[in-house]
């Protein structure tokens, strides 16, 4: 920004424009706060989503693993210690650009995987608190 332009005041800075960033930005859109969302990747028009091409399944642009896809905004991710390969998209919309449209319903036990299964962490909220939403 040049010194002749007024500096905009930012109240909330959101890094990344994926699913959770968009939901959070939307949730505070009615406040009077100035919200700035910075995304390292580019915009993708829905008509140009990787999955709309004929060869999307074999086309590397649709590959959900950035280590193979290597788009300009991708960065290498070390999955050596992980039992699953990384799947993401780096651009406005984040992973939702490659989203499969599958909406599994949570179970109360999904919020307590540390206590019940010794995996990951328990959520700080439980199923019953979220179910009205
Ligand atoms: C192929 C595929 C299919 C899927 N299908 C489903 C489905 O059917 N059902 C379902 O529930 N979920 C599905 N998911 C998962 C879902 O898309 C993700 O859980 C969700 O997008 C995660 O949201 P997020 O905001 O945590 O992260 P992301 O959506 O990954 O967003 C993170 C964003 O931050 C950006 N970013 C990262 N670092 C920086 C930085 N330093 N500076 C600026 N920007 C940065 C990234 O570029 C990215 O855009 C799918 C995911 C993939 C990859």
Quick check: 37 and 27 in contact, CB under 8 A?
no
Which of 15, 95, 105, when mutated, tests ligand 1's pocket best, judged by the most ligand atoms within 8 Å of its CB?
A: 95
Q: Using 50, 70 and 90 to split pLDDT, how confident is the model at 15?
A: very high
- State if residue 40 touches ligand 1 by the CB under 6 angstroms criterion: yes
pLDDT tens per residue, range 95-113: 998 888 888 899 999 999 9
Rounded distance between C-alpha atoms, residue 23 and residue 16, angstroms = 12
Can you tell me whether residue 16 is helix, strand or coil? Answer: coil
Q: Using 50, 70 and 90 to split pLDDT, how confident is the model at 61?
A: low
Rounded distance between C-alpha atoms, residue 12 and residue 55, angstroms = 40
Ligand 1 mean position, distance from CA 18 (Å): 5
pLDDT tens per residue, range 22-59: 999 999 999 989 999 999 999 988 888 777 888 877 77
Tokens of 108: 């109360």
The pTM of the full predicted model, rounded to 2 decimals, is 0.81
């Amino acid at each position: 920004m040049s010194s002749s332009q007024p500096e905009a005041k930012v109240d909330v800075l959101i890094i990344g424009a994926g699913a959770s960033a968009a939901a959070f930005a939307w949730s505070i859109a009615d406040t009077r706060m100035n919200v700035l969302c910075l995304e390292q990747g580019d915009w993708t028009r829905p008509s140009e989503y990787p999955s709309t091409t004929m060869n999307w399944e074999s086309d590397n642009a649709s590959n959900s693993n950035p280590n193979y896809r290597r788009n300009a905004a991708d960065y290498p991710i070390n999955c050596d210690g992980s039992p699953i390969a990384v799947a993401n998209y780096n651009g406005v919309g984040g992973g939702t650009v490659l989203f499969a449209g599958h909406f599994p319903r949570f179970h109360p036990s999904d919020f307590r995987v540390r206590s019940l299964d010794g995996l990951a962490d328990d959520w700080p909220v439980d199923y019953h608190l979220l179910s009205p939403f």
